[in-house]
Amino acid sequence: MQHTVIFKPSGYQGRANHSETILALARRLGVGIEAPCGGVEACGKCKVRIESGDSLSPLTEKEKTFLTDREIENGYRLACCTEILGSTEVFVPKESLTKKQVILETGRERAVPLKPAVKKYYLKLARPTLEDYRDDVSRIIDALYDSGIDRANEIIIDYTVLCALPAVLRQNSWRVMVTVWHDREIVAVQAAQNEGMYGISVDIGTTTIAACLCDLTTGEVLMRNSLMNSQVKYGDDVLSRITYCMNEDDGCRQLHKMIINDINVLVEHLTRAAKIDSENVIEMVLVFNTAMHHIALNINPEYLGCAPFIAAVARPLDIKARELGIGIAKGGYVHCLPIEAGFVGADNVAVLIAQQPYRQDEIQLVIDIGTNGEINLGCKDWLLSTSCATGPALEGAEIKCGMRAAAGAIEKIAINPATLEPIIKIIGQEKGDIKPIGICGSGIIDAVAEMFKARIILRDGRFNKEIQHERVRKSADGRFEYVLVWAAETGTEQDIVVSQKDIRAVQLAKAALYAGAKTLMQKKGVTRLGSVILAGAFGSYMNKENALLLGMFPDCDLDKVTVVGNAAGEGAKLALLNVKMRQEAAEIARRTQFIETAAEADFQTRFYEAMYFPHAKDSFVHMQKMLSGLFKDHSSGGGSL
């Protein structure tokens, strides 16, 4: 039995299977409904309003925890919980619609000598005769050796190139441009005038994908582009993707096809914008976390989801693009950087070769804050790494009024400590009259830090009960919250608030980062950091002073805290432009010691101490002046600074 469902205001209409959830149908029809948890009834972001029809499953207890009494009265439901039992009309409010995220495409660029894996050779071949009856392939290979390729290299030819070879040679009067990969495989034979040779580096994140088109003859960056990872409809975190692969018979293949399609969309956009033929894109470099690595390569990631979290393959890979269905040169290759260990993937290796802490005299802490957090600590003598779960809270998924970094998101906040009135900055406000609809990751960090500075919350994260102000109130569940924007000033006609639960979520995320960094430091007896590098999109938009004030990373001179942008994407580009960087990546992946922080005996103690702002015990000398003022009459729990 099927039922007609109409989605408003988009007008999408479709037939739902009996007992199919609204969210499942929306996914099938392409209606964008936010569901950061993947539809497992854990985030409450997929709110919809039932416009007509009452043939739906009863309101669940889970829904009652996320919906207010007023919302329930007005017909709101959670799309992931509501089963369709008859024809109905569903209105998707603005705050529940999937939004185009602001994606950080660039990182701090570093010069590197140009040494790509591919090289083009112009060959003017002697025509075959009755006396010179060498086959076409031998004729080309002999000419390549004469052009300078080491005769110790055994040169082979790609099969698809071979199939077209006889016609290409004769149609071009034996004058051709031959592209050779690593001086050992012919991957393209084209007309002599075709001198273009390009490559694309791609950083495949859990929520976003960023690509960079480079000219491999000059090293110039021609174009950048990015898009949302289409898999976000199945959840914002890697565990939701792994769970989908485990629970659905064809789950891995479905998610694999989505990533490949996203890559091909980027290839099309980049090549069209640069006015080049995709057949001249000879190579691609991919970086990703371990779960995205497996899914992109159509390797089921289910065993990553259980101890001891072992990858199917960790070494660097070279795979024909056509085998993955990627639309570049038919003979072209895709190079995948190596995985370090468990959930520390090729993207972290890319960050390392971009920042090179292993070449520094001083001890450097490198944190890549994304959906997952990767932490690296080291210098020229040693290098440690670990990972921690930070993303859901810091990207808005576990925040009451949280959202992605998209138009309408509050990204910066300041609170007047005397009046407790906020000043906010909204993404996209410079492009016109736009009202706030939620808070993104950088905004929630600012909000908590500013509330701490203004003494609205205490060191342990609890609201200060002595505060008497209209913006500090109790919610329907009896817990304190701070009203950041009144309903009349928002685009959703609902108050935008920071709740006690939101503050706890930030505490958990920042404690994971801090405890991970501190564990690495204590492994090597490090008491003072030389510098801190903040990488990733979130780290790039975050106020580093507020981050240090909250204790998101151990104390360091703010002048030594550097924001570098998309370092993983930069590392992928370096590996595309210079094969020695690939060798360096493989060496660093083997050399880096991975620490499983959760297995450390005192990790839970470190984690608990890091729940305080900025910390229960550790000193923050570089914030001492500000902190001394905050703690003059602002103490609750914890030790001294």
pLDDT at 397 (0 to 100)? 59
The residues of the chain scoring below 70 in pLDDT are 10-11, 38, 99-110, 371, 391-397, 431-432, 537-540, 625-626, 629-641
Q: Which helix (H) or strand (E) holds 477?
A: none
pLDDT at 637 (0 to 100)? 43
pLDDT at 636 (0 to 100)? 47
Instruction: Give 412-433 pLDDT, tens digit per residue.
Output: 999 999 999 999 999 887 766 7
DSSP for 555-615, written as a single string: ---GGGEEEEE-HHHHHHHHHHHBHHHHHHHHHHHHHSEE--GGGSTTHHHHHHHTTSSS-
pLDDT at 360 (0 to 100)? 94
The helix/strand/coil state of 313 is coil
pLDDT at 288 (0 to 100)? 93
* Residue 461 Rama label (left phi>0; alpha psi -120 to 50; beta): left
- Classify burial at 312, counting beta carbons within 10 Å of its beta carbon; exposed 0-12, middle 13-18, buried 19 or more: middle
DSSP for 90-157, written as a single string: EE--GGGB--PBP----B-------B-SEEEEEEEPPPP-SS----HHHHHHHHHHHTT--TTS--EE
CB 545, CB 572: distance < 8 Å: no
Instruction: Give 532-587 pLDDT, tens digit per residue.
Output: 999 886 666 788 899 999 999 999 999 999 988 889 999 999 999 999 999 999 99
In the block, residue with structure tokens 């569903």? 90
Cα–Cα distances in angstroms (integers) from residue 474 to residues 229, 468, 497, 500, in the given order: 38, 12, 11, 10
Distance between CA atoms of 12 and 28, rounded to whole angstroms?
11
Distance between CA atoms of 590 and 592, rounded to whole angstroms?
6
Report which DSSP code applies to 31: -
> φ and ψ at 274, to 5 degrees?
-85, -5
Instruction: Please report, in angstroms and rounded to a whole number, the separation of the first and last CA atoms in the chain.
Output: 66
pLDDT at 285 (0 to 100)? 98
CB 205, CB 136: distance < 8 Å: no
Distance between CA atoms of 419 and 427, rounded to whole angstroms?
25
Distance between CA atoms of 200 and 266, rounded to whole angstroms?
10
CB 517, CB 597: distance < 8 Å: no
pLDDT at 639 (0 to 100)? 34
Q: Which residues contact 109 (CB under 8 A, 6 or more apart)?
A: 570
Distance between CA atoms of 540 and 119, rounded to whole angstroms?
36
Could you give all domains of the chain from N- to C-terminal order, each with its CATH number?
A: 2-96 (3.10.20.30), 118-191 (3.10.20.880), 348-392+523-630 (no CATH)
> φ and ψ at 543, to 5 degrees?
-75, 110
CB 614, CB 546: distance < 8 Å: no
**Nearest to 403, CA basis, from 520, 289, 484, 307:** 484
In the block, residue with structure tokens 């003072």? 528
pLDDT at 432 (0 to 100)? 66
Q: Which residues contact 408 (CB under 8 A, 6 or more apart)?
A: 99, 426, 427, 428, 434, 435, 436, 437, 438, 491
Rounded to 5°, the CA angle 523-527-533 comes to: 85
What the block records as the tokens of 85 is 């039992």
Q: Which residues contact 306 (CB under 8 A, 6 or more apart)?
A: none
Strands 47-52 and 76-78: antiparallel
* Residue 382 Rama label (left phi>0; alpha psi -120 to 50; beta): beta
Distance between CA atoms of 344 and 388, rounded to whole angstroms?
9
Distance between CA atoms of 92 and 108, rounded to whole angstroms?
39
Instruction: Give 299-334 pLDDT, tens digit per residue.
Output: 999 888 787 788 999 999 999 999 999 999 999 999
